[in-house]
Amino acid sequence: MAMKRLLRSLNGEAVWPPPVWLMRQAGRYLPEYRAVRARVPDFVTLCTSPDLAAEVTLQPIRRYGFDAAILFSDILILPWALGHGLAFKEGEGPVLPRLRDAAGVAALDPRRLAEKTAPVMETVRRIRAGLRAEGFGNTALIGFAGAPFTVACYMVEGGGSKDFAAVRAMAYAEPDLFARLMDTLTEATIAYLSAQVEAGAEVLMLFDSWAGVLSPGLFRRHAAAPAQRIVSALKARHPDVPVIGFPRLAGILARDYAATGVDGIGIDTGSDIGAIAALLPPGLAVQGNLDPMALVAGGEALRTETRAILAAMKGRPFVFNLGHGIVPQTPPENVAALLELVRAG
Ligand code: CP3
């Protein structure tokens, strides 16, 4: 069978029109997602119910025919599987116990991982079977994890934060403790992503949403170095499975991140994608970076922004995406309009 379009781009080919998928493409902007979400008491139950999680993964593929399906789960399922608490409170996002000391790190138990994430692996198998059964032969399945630093951010802060002050201070003031936390998360991430490949994931993505809050020195130590360790361990086991890294808000440090061995790099909304891409190796695929709010607005703003990105990326390996996740107020018809624009090249 011919190679799927997303895999060709990640293999360094300037596929045109580019493959397209959207971060958070399954979610609350879709009425069919809200209908499934209403059947479960909480979000973690949705993530650990293979039939429902596979169903919501496939919903946006049926509607739009994206070049990739992304496993429906969450980056915080990994710490949850290690025994850390996790709740999603309506309207305020994730809430976790605050990890601030050695006892908190020692309580994380990697031996629980395989059993607790078994439903996620079953979801991956069902998505692959569903894509085949429904005739989406060109849609690649992306598995993912949060990068260790971003996962540590939520664990140390106890949820989201406007500046992630506690985790940044811990990285400086308690380097040994923080290194133990990062080590535990890095090893667990390797095992978790490797299991996703064994279950059928064809591409892996590492979400480092808060990498950009780190100083350059700490970025190299806590974003680039763990990514390199994860990518080399995965490549040793699964040499043909490409990895996309998303060091959000990294700016010019995307250059350091490109040296980790990733096959693709996600660029956030605030970065000039052409200027950043010019700093990267020409064979490295770039992914991004439409402003999710241009997708909310639609019309002329959507056309102008989309065409500027396409013009800047034509001729290099590229994957069209947003610069951050799709937001719940996005009109579904604007997503259809975007797909048409991208597919016109
Ligand atoms: O992209 C996809 O469609 C796949 C599924 C996916 C979700 N979260 C589903 C989700 C993926 C890949 C994620 C990644 C994720 N989760 C990140 C990294 C990317 C980014 O956005 O920066 C982060 C930081 C999280 C943590 C997280 N999960 C937050 C902060 C929130 C609350 C914010 C919100 O939108 O409510 C979540 C919840 C979440 N994860 C929802 C979905 C669909 C909404 C929960 C619901 O439907 O009730």
Structure tokens given for 150: 């971003």
Q: Which residue has the tokens 């011919």?
A: 2
307 tagged catalytic? no
Annotated catalytic residue 74: yes
Instruction: Output the residue whose Cα is nearest ligand 1's atom 24.
Output: 209
Virtual CA dihedral for 172, 176, 181, 184, nearest 10 degrees? 140
Burial classification of residue 185, based on how many CB atoms lie within 10 Å of its CB (0-12 exposed, 13-18 middle, 19 or more buried)? buried
Strands 203-208 and 140-146: parallel
In the chain, what are the domain boundaries?
A: 5-343
Residue 1: the pLDDT is 60
- The pLDDT tens digits for 169-214 are 999 999 999 999 999 999 999 999 999 999 999 999 999 999 999 9
Element (H, E) at 208: strand 203-208
CA 107 to chain centre: 26
Report, in this order, helix, strand and coil percent for the chain, each rounded to 5. Answer: 50, 10, 35
Going from the Cα of 24 to the center of ligand 1, the distance in angstroms, rounded, reads: 7
Answer yes or no: 154 catalytic.
Answer: yes
Q: Return the ligand 1 atom nearest residue 25 CA.
A: 3
CA dist., res. 320 & res. 311, Å (int): 12
> For 94-108, what is each residue's pLDDT tens digit?
999 999 999 999 999
Question: Is the beta carbon of 325 within 6 A of some atom in ligand 1?
Answer: yes
Q: What is the pLDDT of residues 102-157, one digit of tens each?
A: 999 999 999 999 999 999 999 999 999 999 999 999 999 999 999 999 999 999 99
Instruction: Please list, residue by residue across 9-29, b when 16 or more beta carbons sit within 10 angstroms of its beta carbon and e when fewer do.
Output: bbbbbbbebbbbbbbbbbbeb
Q: Is the distance from the beta carbon of residue 70 to the nearest atom of ligand 1 less than 6 Å?
A: yes
CATH dotted code for 5-343: 3.20.20.210
Is 28 an annotated catalytic residue? Answer: yes
Residue closest by Cα to atom 3 of ligand 1:
24
> By three-state DSSP, how is residue 151 classified?
helix
Nearest C-alpha to atom 8 of ligand 1 is from which residue?
74
Q: Is the CB of 23 under 6 A from ligand 1?
A: yes
Q: Is the pLDDT of residue 292 over 90?
A: yes
CB-ligand 1 contact for 72 (6 Å cutoff): yes
Write down the pLDDT at residue 2. Answer: 79
